[in-house]
């Protein structure tokens, strides 16, 4: 019962009709593994730079 309900929900989460003004709450664009890797790298670099700036602030 649950698996059939989950599959129906999963099928509809990936669909956003043309002209629709809102997307589902947990909607994520379909991404390739390469795009996911790039987004993780960007998030890690951004966090590292953010942390480094705050660590530098301790010296002043």
Sign of CA dihedral 40, 31, 35, 54: negative
List the chain pLDDT tens, one digit each, 60 residues: 445 555 544 555 556 677 778 767 776 778 899 999 999 999 999 999 999 999 999 887
> What whole-number distance in Å separates Cα of residue 46 and Cα of residue 48?
5
| CA 30 vs CA 17, 40, 49, 55: distances in Å | 15, 15, 28, 36
Smallest CA-to-CA distance from 27 within 12, 40, 42, 39 is with 12
What are the residue boundaries of the structural domains of the chain, listed by start? 2-57
Long-range residue pairs from 48-53, CB within 8 A, at least 24 positions apart, any chain: none
pLDDT the model gives residue 2:
47
Q: Read off the tokens for 49.
A: 């730079």
């Amino acid at each position: 019962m649950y698996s059939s309900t989950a599959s129906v929900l999963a099928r509809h989460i990936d669909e956003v009709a043309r002209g629709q003004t809102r997307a589902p709450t947990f909607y994520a664009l379909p991404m390739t593994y390469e795009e996911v890797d790039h987004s993780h790298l960007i998030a890690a670099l951004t966090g590292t730079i953010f942390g480094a700036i705050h660590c530098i602030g301790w010296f002043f």
